[in-house]
Amino acid sequence: MAATADHSTTGATAPAYYVSTPIYYVNDRPHLGHAYTTVAGDVLTRWHRQRGEKVWYLTGTDEHGQKIMRTAEANGVSPQQWCDKLVEEAWKPLWEHLEIANDDFIRTTEERHTARVQEFVQDLFDKGEIYKGGYSGPYCVGCEEFKLPAELLDGATADEKLCAVHKRPVEWLEEENYFFRLSAYGPRLLEFYAANPDFIQPASARNEVLRFVEQDLKDLSISRSTFDWGVPLPWDEKHVLYVWVDALQNYITAAGYGSDPERFAELWPASVHLVGKDILRFHAVIWPAMLMAAGLPLPKRVVANGWLMVGGEKMSKSNLTGIAPTDLTSHFGVDAYRYYFLRAIPFGTDGSFSWEDFTARYTSELANDFGNLASRVAAMVGKYFDGVLPAATAAGDAEQAVADGLTAAVAAADLKIGEELDFAGGLAAIFEFVKQVNGYLTTQEPWKVAKDESEEGQARLATILYTAAEALRATAVLLNPVMPSTAEKLWVSLGAEAAGLGALGAQTVATAADWGRLPVGATVTKGEILFPRLEEKPTA
Residues with catalytic annotation?
31, 34, 140, 143, 163, 166, 314, 317
**Nearer residue to ligand MSP within complex by CB, 279 or 293:** 279
What is the smallest separation between the CB atom of 302 and ligand MSP, expressed in angstroms? 11
What is the nearest approach in angstroms of ligand MSP to the Cβ of residue 248? Answer: 5
Pair 250, 108: CB distance under 8 Å? yes
Asked if 248 touches ligand MSP (CB under 6 A), the answer is yes
Stretch that binds ligand MSP, among 176-184, 242-250, 467-475, 514-522 (CB under 6 A): 242-250
- Say how far apart CA 47 and CA 249 lie, in whole Å: 26
**Shortest approach of ligand MSP to residue 172 CB, angstroms?**
22
Q: Which of residues 9 and 321 has its CB atom nearest to ligand MSP in the complex? A: 321
Single-letter amino acid, residue 274: L
* Cα torsion through 389, 393, 397, 400, rounded to 10: 50
Longest alpha-carbon distance in the chain: 91
- Minimum CB separation of residue 150 from ligand MSP in Å reads 22
Among 17, 25, 146, 340, binds ligand MSP (CB under 6 A): 25
**What's the CA gap between 285 and 298, in Å, rounded?**
11
List the end-to-end C-alpha distance of the chain, in Å, as a whole number.
Answer: 31
By beta-carbon proximity to ligand MSP, the closer residue of 304 and 377 is 304
Which span sits near ligand MSP by CB under 6 A: 19-27, 122-130, 398-406, 528-536? 19-27
Which region, judged by CB under 6 A, interacts with ligand MSP, from 20-28, 362-370, 441-449, 521-529? 20-28
Determine which residue in the list 308, 334, 367, 406 makes contact with ligand MSP, applying CB under 6 A.
308
> Which residues are 495's β-sheet partners?
none
Residue 247 CB, nearest approach to ligand MSP (Å)? 4
- Interactions with ligand MSP, residue window 157-216 (CB under 6 A): none
| CA 188, 190, 193, 196 torsion-angle sign | negative
Is the bond leading into 269 cis (omega within 30 degrees of zero)?
yes
Q: Say whether the peptide bond before residue 202 is cis (omega within 30 degrees of 0).
A: yes
Question: Judged by CB, which is closer to ligand MSP: 332, or 341?
Answer: 341
| Chosen residue from 315, 471, 496, 513 binding ligand MSP by CB under 6 A | 315
Contact between 252 and ligand MSP by CB under 6 A: the answer reads: no
Those residues with Cβ within 8 angstroms of residue 336's Cβ, 6 or more apart along the chain or in another chain: 358, 362, 366, 483, 531
Judged by CB under 6 A, the stretch of 111-119, 276-284, 391-399, 434-442 that binds ligand MSP is 276-284
Nearer to ligand MSP, 274 or 522 (CB): 274
How many residues belong to the site for ligand MSP (CB under 6 A)? 21
Q: How far apart are CA 269 and CA 248, in angstroms?
A: 14
**Nearer of residues 275 and 522 to ligand MSP, judged by Cβ:** 275
- Minimum distance from residue 143 beta carbon to ligand MSP (Å): 8
* Residue 133 to residues 137, 178, 181, Cα–Cα distance (Å): 14, 6, 11
Q: Which residues from 26-45 bind ligand MSP, rule CB under 6 A?
A: 33-34, 36-37
Assess 343 for contact with ligand MSP (CB under 6 A): no
Are the CB atoms for 403 and 436 separated by under 8 Å? no
Stretch that binds ligand MSP, among 97-105, 314-322, 323-331, 478-486 (CB under 6 A): 314-322
C-alpha pair distances (Å), 394 with each of 255, 447, 463, 521? 54, 17, 6, 17
Fill in the DSSP letter of residue 523.
B
Helical ranges in 184-284 per DSSP H? 186-195, 203-214, 243-248, 250-253, 261-267, 280-281
Output the DSSP codes for 304-318: EE--EEETTEE--TT
Tell me which stretch binds ligand MSP (CB under 6 A): 39-47, 83-91, 222-230, 313-321.
313-321
Listed in sequence order, the residues at least 6 apart from 84 whose beta carbon sits closer than 8 Å to its beta carbon are none
Query: Closest CB to ligand MSP among 27 and 438?
Result: 27
Smallest gap from Cβ 31 to ligand MSP, in A, equals: 7
- Contact call for residue 314 and ligand MSP (CB under 6 A): yes
Least separation in angstroms between CB 276 and ligand MSP:
2
What is the spatial distance between Cα 25 and Cα 78, in angstroms, rounded to a whole number? 16
Q: Which of 23, 141, 189, 501 binds ligand MSP (CB under 6 A)?
A: 23
Q: Which is nearer to ligand MSP, 120 or 433 (CB)?
A: 120
SS3 of 458-518: HHHHHHHHHHHHHHHHHHHHHHCCCCHHHHHHHHHHCCCHHHHHCCHHHCCHHHHCCCCCC
CA dihedral over 362, 411, 445, 383, signed as positive or negative: negative
Q: What is the CA radius of gyration of the chain?
A: 26
CA dihedral 312, 164, 192, 422 (to 10 degrees): -10
Of 47 and 307, which CB lies nearer to ligand MSP in the complex structure? Answer: 307
In this chain, which residue has its C-beta nearest to ligand MSP?
276
Quote the least distance from Cβ 348 to ligand MSP, whole Å. 11
Determine if 224 is a binding residue for ligand MSP (CB under 6 A): no
Shortest distance, position 34 Cβ to ligand MSP, whole Å: 5
CB-nearer residue toward ligand MSP: 122 or 318? 318
Stretch 50-109 residues interacting with ligand MSP (CB under 6 A) = 62
Which range, of 21-29, 170-178, 204-212, 366-374, touches ligand MSP by CB under 6 A? 21-29
Nearest to 476, CA basis, from 358, 388, 371: 371
Which spans of this chain sit near ligand MSP (rule: CB under 6 A)? 22-25, 33-34, 36-37, 62, 247-248, 250, 275-276, 278-279, 307-308, 314-316
